[in-house]
Amino acid sequence: MWPTNVSYLLVVFSMAVTNLFGQDRFSTSRLSDDPAQEGFPTWFPDSKSLIYSHFSWKDSLGKNGLWRISLEDGQTRQIFSGTAEHPKLSPDGRLIVFDADTGGSMKMIDAQGGSPWKFLPDSIGIHNGGLPCWSPTGSLIAFKEAATGSLCVYDAETRTVTRIFREDGMLPLPGCWSGDGTWIFVALMNRQTRKSIMWKISRDGNKREQITGHHEAFYRYLALSPDQSLLVYAAMEGRDLGLWVMPAEGGKSLPLAITHPGHNEGPAWSPDGKWLAFASTRSGNHDIWIMDLDAELLKKEVRALNQ
């Protein structure tokens, strides 16, 4: 259930979608409503607010950038004005790493706002975004590098970068880390066919394991549940992009957020496991939506499917 102090959000922002738009496994509501593209939600540790990106080619008011929205009162506040994509909050909620300069660099900014700064060595090039994601301790950031097409890890303590994995003809798109910081979950995309397969790669790059049994039209956007038992990902259905869920170790999948027409992408579990935030075009805009999860029921259904 929604907390009582955010019930007005269901009146102002939300829209029941099960019957109107398609197949949502649980009740789903809209958090943002703007003609601009809003996406890539990332949660604060208390699960009471999140950060998302806002972008419009016609922006004349300085609204492009990073915004924070509170689930308690629905208030929004701009954290950064400029081009920003793929924001990820550090596990302690103090910092945001994001793709800047139209995907030409990665920067960091205080979660409360201020001026962002570059942190990568000049020898590391970013193109079309690095898709940064924090390790559970907040000491490491996984990302993709442009020049070599490598999966890299930045060490925030030593300020060094290690290229841990590359494969000819493939591009590793990092999605998330395992809870113990041992593995990085990636979509390994074929540069020619643009089709992807799921892998998890050890933080030193010495081990890798394919996650099998997933939807054959897997695209990308990997998100592990807080208890590490479930994995959400995006897959293409014709020209539509939907969210599916399966066991974290691989197996059969259940549809989680499927709409036609529409794209559903960028899933992010709330740290308390009660919500799944994602971006969707189901209403005509590219907005932030939130799904009210019954995590225990979802795990039970996934287990039953894979018995």
**Domains identified in the chain and CATH numbers:** 7-305 (2.120.10.30)
Using the predicted structure, report yes or no on whether residue 178 has a pLDDT greater than 50. Answer: yes
Q: Say how many Å lie between the first and final Cα of the chain, rounded.
A: 30
Tokens, residue 236: 């293409």
* CA gap 171, 75 in Å, rounded: 38
pLDDT exceeds cutoff 60 at 56: yes
Q: Does 1 score more than 50 pLDDT?
A: no
Q: How far apart are CA 248 and CA 256, in angstroms?
A: 15
Of the candidates 173, 246, 179, 178, which has an alpha carbon nearest to the alpha carbon of residue 215? 246
Query: pLDDT by residue (tens digit) across 220-266?
Result: 999 999 999 999 999 998 889 999 999 999 999 999 999 988 999 99
Other CB atoms within 10 Å distance of the CB of residue 19: 7
Mean of all residue pLDDT scores within the chain = 91
Say what the pTM is.
0.91
> Is pLDDT above 60 for 184?
yes
Looking at residue 72, its pLDDT comes to 87
Question: What does the alpha-carbon distance between residue 191 and residue 16 come to, in Å, rounded to a whole number?
Answer: 38
Give pLDDT, residue 42.
98
144 vs 14: which has the higher pLDDT:
144
**163 falls in which pLDDT band (50, 70, 90)?**
very high
pLDDT band at 217, cuts 50/70/90? confident
User: Do 163 and 143 form a contact (C-beta atoms < 8 A)?
Assistant: no
Question: What was the pLDDT predicted at 73?
Answer: 86
Percentage of residues in the chain having pLDDT higher than 70: 93
Q: Tokens 């009740």 label which residue?
A: 27
